Amino acid sequence: MAKKPLLRDDLLEVVYDEERWRILRRLRRKAVKIMEALNRAYIGSVAHGSIARG
């Protein structure tokens, strides 16, 4: 599991271990497939947060 974010003023540092990065890469690939299908139907979409970073 990811460590709790460290909050310093406007800076938010999140540290992921390798397992978390692997999960995020898998989720990002899945999101890209869905977003491509939406795009083909002329529906815009946006990914944000951990999936976008993954």
d(CA 11, CA 16): 16
Compute the chain's Rg from CA coordinates. 14
Tally of residues, the chain: 54
Kindly report, residue by residue over 2-21, the tens digit of the pLDDT.
777 766 666 778 888 999 99
d(CA 4, CA 37): 34
CA angle in degrees (0–180, nearest 5) for 6-9-13: 30
| CA nearest neighbour of 3 among 39, 11, 13 | 13
pLDDT of 23: 92
pLDDT of 30: 94
